[in-house]
Amino acid sequence: MSAKKKLAIVLFNLGGPDGPEAVEPFLFNLFNDPLIIRVPQPLRWLIAKIISRRRAPVAKGIYANIGGRSPILPLTEAQARALEQELAGDYDARCFIAMRYWKPFASETAAAVKAWAPDEVILLPLYPQYSTTTNKSSLGDWDQAVKTVGLAVPTRTICCYPVEPGFIAAYAELLREALAKFASGEKPRILFSAHGLPKKVVEAGDPYQQQVEASCKAVVEALGVEGLDWVTCYQSRVGPLEWIGPATDKEIERAGHQGKSLVVLPIAFVSEHSETLVELDIEYGHLAKEAGVPRYERVPAVGTHPRFIAGLGNLVRTVMNSSDRLLCPEEAAGRPCGEEAR
């Protein structure tokens, strides 16, 4: 009987500060990313320094609401362990975590992968919908880390998975549970809230908005409720640029004017962090009350939901059983979404 293939799966996410002292350097790393602030050095370094210094006090206040630190790393570790269990029957699989803007950085993760000496590596961003600001940024960062540590192992990439059946089924089930809290005959509006992007990024060809809308439509279809009242909207708008919309906060105010109750689902997030626990729960929860929304419910992120983890496992199996090195629904549809991930 042959031994199972030794498979390293690298999970990518943005990361978050692990204490108050990490908030400013975390913000600096974020705004120093050339795919976030799209100006050349040394101007980008200067802009990142100014923005991170100015925003750090406000950000520290935000994280103070959730214990002074981001929960994203322990939550991602739980997803990693769950995915290892999901794949245990097929591979000797170990999941590693590479965060983009705070520890563990890609460089230390690449070194850990090299030390484990896998037969193959799978790159799996925990961003279901592809964006140059997330997927491309994390995968590019990994490419640099691999070169730095000299990791030379056959590698396959899962580019994005906006309508992956397990991901969609998990959110449909969580949404169904939230809707069950309402009285029979009461029909709340569902806000599918995703992180926003500057409009110019989407106009330049970023497929994120199209993929977010595809995810929302797929969840609605999986739910199978006729006449559902739902809207796709975008949160976390910052700066003077025009952002894609409609904005989540404006949709909350509109619902208040109409006397509509709301169920908010964080469609672009797979784990809880400041944008769900603070922005959606606290800030937008307060806004909903002020706006006169009768009832405000928030669907939890999919986290380690069994259907979501099974879906990730199926993605890994699919790319491992394919002759292609890249699993990307955009490319399959003839669009060049993830070709830079090769």
Q: Which pLDDT tens digits describe the chain residue by residue (342 residues)?
A: 458 999 999 999 999 999 999 999 999 999 999 999 999 999 999 999 999 999 999 999 999 999 999 999 999 999 999 999 999 999 999 999 999 999 999 999 999 999 999 999 999 999 999 999 999 999 999 999 999 999 999 999 999 999 999 999 999 999 999 999 999 889 999 999 999 999 999 999 999 999 999 999 999 999 999 999 999 999 998 878 899 999 999 999 999 999 999 999 999 999 999 999 999 999 999 999 999 999 999 999 999 999 999 999 999 999 999 988 889 877 766 666 765 433
In a domain? residue 250: yes
State how many domains the chain has. Answer: 2
Please report where in the chains the tokens 């590479």 appear, as a residue. Answer: 98
Q: Indicate if the alpha-carbon torsion angle 192, 194, 200, 205 is positive or negative.
A: negative
Q: How big is the chain, counted in residues?
A: 342
CA–CA gap between residue 151 and residue 232 (Å, rounded): 41
- pLDDT at residue 340, as a whole number: 44
- Position 260 in a domain: yes
Q: Which residue, 262, 280, 298, sits at the end of a domain? A: 298
84 labelled ligand-binding: no
Tell me if 182 is assigned to some domain. yes
Single out the residue of 131, 215, 105, 238 nearest to residue 166, CA to CA.
215
Residue 231 is inside which H or E element, if any? Answer: strand 230-235
Same structural domain, 176 and 53: no
Let me know if residue 173 belongs to a domain. yes
In a domain, 129, yes or no: no
Residue 36 lies in a domain: yes
Query: Which CATH number goes with the domain that contains 203?
Result: 3.40.50.1400
Question: Residue 37 corresponds to which tokens in the numbers above?
Answer: 């602030």
- Residue 309 in tokens: 């983890």
**What distance in Å separates the CA atoms of residue 59 and residue 66, rounded to the nearest whole number?**
11
CB 19 within 8 A of CB 68: yes
Strand ordering across the sheet containing 6-13: 92-99, 6-13, 120-125, 155-158, 326-327
Q: What is the pLDDT of residue 341?
A: 37
User: What's residue 329's pLDDT?
Assistant: 74
In a domain, 134, yes or no: no
CA distance 53 to 83: 38
Coil vs helix vs strand at 6: strand
Q: Which domain holds residue 59?
A: 20-64
Residue 331 labeled ligand binder: no
Identify whether 169 is part of a domain. yes
